[in-house]
Structures are given as structure tokens and as C-alpha cells.
Structure 1
Amino acid sequence: MKQFGNLFGFRLTQIIKIGKGKFMHRKTEVTLNRHGETEWNLSGRWQGHADSPLSHRGVEQAKALGERMKGEKMDYFYSSDLERARHTSRLVGGPSGWKADFMESLRERDLGVLEGMTTEEMLVKHPSEYQSFRNEGPEYQVPGGESFRQFYDRCSGALEDVASRHPGKKIGVVTHGGFLGAIFRHVLSIPLDAERNFVLLNCSINRLEKNDTGWNLVSWGDVAHLDGLDSLDDA
């Protein structure tokens, strides 16, 4: 059974039951956070595995997220190993004394030759690759990068790996917009070629639970702590 709210809404609650199995007495809780806004987010440059520092607003977003989550019990804390996520994890974990373990599998999608460029620059330097990236579907692999299928498999595998390591525990993860999008599709069984109609906000709180029947999407796109700070949805 699925109960859908407004996917574009400020806070989305989903109840989903997937698969079959016995009742699990202890649920595994995963909280996903996107990194703070970066300078390249502001300038419209595609990041991928390339890196860009947090903007001033991105730092303030991460600090606000850390204060919001202060006092929550977190048994394990992970982060992508890219610096924008590392920096965010330090600011988020600081007030609570959490120190992240870094995982390469939590990275953003590898965009190969398109990384570090704006759309306008891609249309000049790599027009055919850009058009293929936009139009050829989840199996297209940009030169030097990942196809969306490969990226999805990596992201869903990373989530399942973390959950299987720590059953019944509370787990925090600092990651990227693309990773969040892949996980949203994974949990709700959304086709990879379906148009995105859900938010991927900087320093948002996105909560999942897992029991023996599968994953539950508890809340999505919660940015109540960013009062007065905009949050980009540009992944």
C-alpha cells in the first residue's frame, strides 16, 4: 500500500510495504542529508566527482542542519568522501560529536567529460555527448563517467550495504542530490526513465526505515531548519 502526498510539497510522508517476510522487531533507520550549497551549485556547473567548496550560504545551511539534528541518537554516521560532503558532515556532526566514516560509494554520479562545465559550455565543447546524456536514457554512459543505470546500482547497493551492516540501528548519511534521487527511485520502485517529480534539496533531511517487509519512506525534503536560507533543487 502506498499513501502519496504532494511530491513537490515541503514535507512528504510515504508508507510503503515491499515484499514479504516475518515481522522485524527492530527497524533500521537511515537519515540522508544532501551536502550544503556549493559555489558550483550557484554558478550552474555540473559537479559529479569534481569538487567545489561550500558557498557561504552552504556553510550556514550545514550549521543549521547540525543544530536541528543535535541531540538525535545516531549509532553510525557516514559521508561521501568528496570534500563538499566531508565539510558538510563536519558541520552537521560537530554539535553532536559525530565523526563520519567516508565511503566512496556514496559519491555523486561520475559525469565524465561533462564535469565542471555549465550547460552552455557543454553545448559548445561536447554537444553530442550532452544531447545523448539528456535523451538516450539510463543505459547511456557519458565518456569517462557512469550511466544512470550504473549509478543507480551503486547507490542502491551502498544503501543496502550500510543497512545490512547495522540492522536495528540509527544511521546518518551525508551525500549528494543524485544519490538521493537514486534512493527515492529505489525505495518506491520508480522506473529509471521516469521524469523526476520530487525534490533534492541542499541540507535537507530525508528519512527511511527498513524492516523485514522492505523500505518505508518516512519523510522527504524537510528543510524546516533552513528558515531564511534558500535551498537549491538543482541535482
Structure 2
Amino acid sequence: MLSNDNAPPSTTILLIRHGETAWNAERRLQGHIDIALNAEGERQAALLAAALAPERIDHIISSDLARARQTAEAIARERGMQVGTDPALRERCYGGFEGLLYSEIAARFPREFAAWQARDVDGVLPPGTNQGGSFRQFFDRARGAIVKHATAYPGKTLALVAHGGVLECAYRAALGLSLETPRDFKVLNASVNRFVVEEGGLKLVSWGEVGHLQPAVLDDLT
């Protein structure tokens, strides 16, 4: 196979989920609602920052929501760096589901909840304070944001601090998983998930690094 000598150098992505929030702990859906880290999340962010201190990071870019931004700022303080923000790295918007416990969603919106749990990737969510979007729309946004930043910084190492849904999208894109398949992998608070972006495609290097955190951290579905 001939190599493409004109291809831009690959970009390394450290894709990081924000630390824990009170709503994570009680299984209340956040989406675009702007919830800050709780005390445990702040502890996780500090441990994460210390663990990453020896590593090369050229740029730190975060979702503009507080829980991600606070996590990114902990990493940046450790290194004397600045944090850029990008709303395209936000969590999926869940419309009327936002702010509710999973049990409350099932009771209030049984039809939409059933479609969501059945992985209807084009399903329309009920309106709320924010207008919800389909999973397919969210996947395109999240993947596009990651690739956009990688393309802007060829050959660099980026720390992108985002949300559980964004991590799920990256994992599916890297492994070529159908959007309709159940999520059978964990997406952990304050985890480091490593990718390489080459010619617009994501390749998974490692997933779910949480050795820097004690005790165990929450998956967003447990």
C-alpha cells in the first residue's frame, strides 16, 4: 500500500468526561442544563489534573457548560494554560427530559421514553426549556466538533473536556458501531479516553482510564 506523504500529521485527542455532579449521583438528566461539579467532582478534577501534569497537552478545549469547564480549568491551572470553549462539545439536548429523574421521565413521557430506550436514533424528544434533538443529529455534531479541532491543530495533542454522550459518539465513530446498537461500554466521570484523528477519521487508542481516581467513579447509566 502506498503511503500518502502529503497527508497532514495525526492529532492526538485526550477526550475527557467532566467530573461528578449532584445530578449524576441521583441519576437526574442534565443535558443542556448548566449544573456545576459537586465536591466529589471537584476532587476528581484535581486528581485528573495531577495525573495529566506530566503529559504533553498543547491545547485545552471544553464544552461551555460549567461541569465541563470546571474540569478543564483544573487541568489548565496545573499547567498554567488557558481553556478554550466550544458549545458544539455540549451534551445532547434532551428537551422536556432535562431536569427529571429517569423514573420521572418514564412516568411523564412513556412513549418518548420507550423510544429513547429502544435506541430510536431519529426519535423526537418532547419540548422543554431547551429544544431537544435526535441522537443522529447529536452524533453528527459531536463527531464534527472533535474532527474540527483535530483538523485545526494537526500534529498536536488536545485535551477536549466534554460529556458522557460526546464520549459515546466518539467511541461509536472510532469503532464503526451502529448508532442503533445498545451502549454496552462504560462512560465514566473524569475518565481519560485517548484517540488519534487521521485524515478525518477517529481511531481509539485507550478507553476509560480512571486509575487516577479512588474510589470508583460513576458511569452515567448506573
Same fold per TM (> 0.5)?
A: yes
Unaligned runs of 5+ in 2: none
**Aligned residues of 1:40 and 1:46 also touching (Cα < 8 A):** yes
Cα deviation code 1:135-160 (max 9, x no counterpart): 26101021230100000000111011
Cα deviation code 1:42-71 (max 9, x no counterpart): 111001001222121111100000000113
Spell out the pairing of 1:137-216 with structure 2 (5 A cutoff): 137-143=120-126, 144-212=131-199, 214-216=201-203
- Judging changes above 3 Å, is the alpha-carbon distance between structure 1 residues 25 and 156 closer, same or farther for their aligned structure 2 residues? closer
**Aligned residues of 2:186 and 2:219 also touching (Cα < 8 A):** yes
Q: Measure the CA separation in 2 of the matches of 1:215 and 1:124.
A: 38
Letter in 1 for 2:194: R
1:123 positional shift: 2.6
Cα deviation code 1:147-174 (max 9, x no counterpart): 0000000011101111111111111110
Spell out the pairing of 1:1-235 with structure 2 (5 A cutoff): 22=4, 24=7, 26-135=9-118, 137-143=120-126, 144-212=131-199, 214-226=201-213, 228-235=214-221
The sequence identity of aligned pairs, in percent, is: 38
Moved over 6 A (4+): none
**Aligned residues of 1:80 and 1:174 also touching (Cα < 8 A):** yes
Q: Measure the CA separation in 1 of the matches of 2:146 and 2:42.
A: 26
Q: Measure the CA separation in 2 of the matches of 1:198 and 1:178.
A: 12
Letter in 1 for 2:220: D
- Equivalent residues, number: 215
Cα deviation code 1:64-116 (max 9, x no counterpart): 00000113221111000001111111112211112211100000000000001
TM-score (norm 2): 0.91
SS in 2 for 1:207: strand
> RMSD over aligned Cα, in angstroms?
1.8
Letter in 2 for 1:233: D
Letter in 2 for 1:141: V
Unaligned runs of 5+ in 1: 1-19
